[in-house]
């Protein structure tokens, strides 16, 4: 596990990764209409010489209220993102626990290999399930040949894989010398995997109430559209630049709050790196399986 990278100031100010550049470009496009409104207000004031001005106090109060709304919305989205991250951390931990117990007490090498493969498949199946993917490229290399077609037809593949793990546990329970205490713990780990899957499904199927988003965005658009008229008489030709400087961070916060509502979507910049999580888990479990096999051959 590599530590989190520590980016310096200018790496964050001028990001080089394509995902963040795409995000900045998307927010910039959303900012453009408000810059055009600011230019229109400047031209209108210059042509008509009619002083258009709204009291600054209105913007101070409105901006403060809007800032609170945006902060609440972003925090609400982050709570969903963090809950999803904790759920996936639980899947990782329970998978490791289930795998180590199986490798330590499993009845046969073939049983151990099948268990590890099914646990890896559960992680990949959960990733595809939460993202709505139908393709399952990992299936051919890990799933037994006689079960591939059946698993492809399943509408809820993670639950089907959990059933296969349960069947393996039943096989182990029938073998002599398999500790009942270990069996109970492994069954609890299997149930925990389903619980964490349910957390992800709950986040996915329960979005933030749409009325909450609509009201905040209406307020945001109204505020930014009227903002140039509040600073026009004092900012003059700087009005479009100041409008852009105010609109961009506000619209970026709005976009971040929207993306955080679904932490599993591949198209979101702020998605959870589920591909990396699955790769790390698969690598860990394969290494454990290989180490266990080598120890058996050395005996």
The DSSP line for 54-122 is --HHHHHHHHHHHHHHHHHHHHHHHHHHHHHHHHHHHHHHHHHHHHHHHHHH-SSHHHHHHHHHHHHHH
CB of 108 closer than 8 Å to CB of 294:
no
Q: Is pLDDT at 148 greater than 70 in this prediction?
A: yes
User: Given phi > 0 = left and psi -120 to 50 = alpha, else beta, which region is 51?
Assistant: beta
The pLDDT of residue 165 is 93
Model confidence at 144: pLDDT above 80: no
Calculate mean pLDDT across residues 109-134: 91
Helix (H) / strand (E) containing 123:
helix 109-131
CA-based torsion, 186, 152, 109, 95: positive or negative: negative
Considering the domain boundaries, does residue 125 fall inside one?
yes
Domain count, the chain: 1
Q: How many residues does the chain have?
A: 299
Asked, for residue 39, whether it belongs to a domain, the answer is: no
Q: What is the pLDDT of residue 86?
A: 95
Q: What is the per-residue pLDDT for 233?
A: 79
Predicted confidence at residue 200, as pLDDT, reads: 93
CB atoms within 10 A of CB 265: 16
pLDDT of residue 169: 93
Predicted confidence (pLDDT) at residue 298 exceeds the cutoff of 70:
no
In a domain, 193, yes or no: yes
Max Cα-Cα span within the chain: 95
41 inside domain: no
Predicted confidence band of residue 93 (pLDDT cuts 50, 70, 90): very high
Cβ contact 17:226 at 8 Å: no
Alpha carbons 35 and 27: distance in angstroms, whole number: 13
Tokens representing 9? 């100031």
Kindly state whether residue 44 falls inside one of the protein's structural domains. Answer: no
Return the pLDDT at 193: 95
**What distance, in Å, lies between the first and last C-alpha atoms of the chain?**
31
How far apart CA 61 and CA 297 sit, in angstroms, is 74
pLDDT digits (tens, 9 = 90+) for 227-264: 888 888 788 888 899 999 999 999 998 888 888 888 99
Position 34 in a domain: no
The answer to whether position 29 is within a domain reads no
Confidence of residue 57 (pLDDT cuts 50, 70, 90): low
CA distance 269 to 258: 11
Please give the share of the chain, as a percent, with pLDDT higher than 70. 91
In a domain? residue 42: no
Average pLDDT over residues 146-155: 79
Q: Where are the beta strands (DSSP E) in the chain?
A: none
| Sequence-separated (6 or more) residues with CB below 8 Å from residue 127 | 133, 274, 275, 277, 278
Q: Residue 4 — pLDDT band, cuts 50, 70, 90?
A: low
Whose tokens are 């454990």? That residue is 288
Instruction: Classify residue 221 by burial, with Cβ atoms within 10 Å: 0-12, 13-18, 19+.
Output: middle
Q: Which of 86-95, 103-112, 206-215 has the lowest mean pLDDT?
A: 206-215
15 — pLDDT class (breaks 50, 70, 90): confident
- Residue 151: pLDDT over 60: yes
Work out the mean pLDDT of the chain and round it to a whole number.
Answer: 85
Convert the pLDDT of each residue in 196-206 to its tens digit: 999 999 998 88
Question: Would you state the pLDDT for residue 72?
Answer: 85
CA 232 – CA 239 distance, rounded (Å): 6
* Tokens describing residue 216: 């905040």
Structural domain containing residue 207: 54-298
Q: How confident is the model at residue 195 (pLDDT cuts 50, 70, 90)?
A: very high
């Amino acid at each position: 596990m590599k530590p989190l990278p520590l980016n310096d100031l200018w790496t964050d100010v001028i990001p080089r990764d394509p995902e963040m550049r795409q995000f900045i470009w998307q927010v910039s496009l959303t900012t453009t209409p408000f810059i055009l409104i600011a230019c229109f207000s400047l031209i209108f004031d210059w042509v008509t010489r009619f002083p258009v001005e709204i009291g600054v106090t209105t913007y101070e109060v409105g901006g403060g209220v809007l800032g609170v709304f945006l902060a609440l919305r972003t925090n609400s989205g982050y709570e969903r993102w963090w809950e999803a991250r904790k759920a996936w951390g639980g899947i990782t931990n329970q998978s490791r626990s289930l795998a180590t117990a199986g490798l330590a007490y499993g009845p046969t090498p073939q049983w151990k290999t099948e268990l590890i493969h099914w646990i890896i498949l559960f992680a990949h199946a959960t990733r595809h399930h939460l993202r709505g993917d139908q393709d399952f490229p990992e299936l051919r290399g890990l799933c037994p040949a006689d079960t591939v077609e059946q698993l492809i037809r399943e509408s809820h593949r993670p639950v089907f894989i959990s059933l296969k793990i349960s069947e393996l546990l039943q096989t182990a329970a029938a073998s002599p010398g398999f500790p009942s205490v270990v069996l109970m713990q492994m069954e609890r780990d299997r149930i925990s995997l389903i619980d964490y899957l349910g957390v992800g499904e709950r986040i996915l199927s329960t979005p933030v109430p749409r009325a909450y988003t609509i009201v905040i965005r209406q307020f945001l658009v109204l505020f930014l559209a009227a903002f140039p008229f509040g600073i026009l008489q004092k900012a003059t030709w700087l009005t479009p630049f100041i409008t852009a400087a105010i609109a961009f961070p506000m619209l970026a916060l709005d976009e971040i709050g929207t993306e955080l509502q679904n932490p599993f979507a591949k198209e979101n910049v702020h998605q959870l790196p589920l591909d990396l999580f699955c790769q790390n888990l698969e690598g860990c479990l394969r290494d454990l399986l290989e180490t266990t096999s080598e120890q058996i051959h050395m005996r």
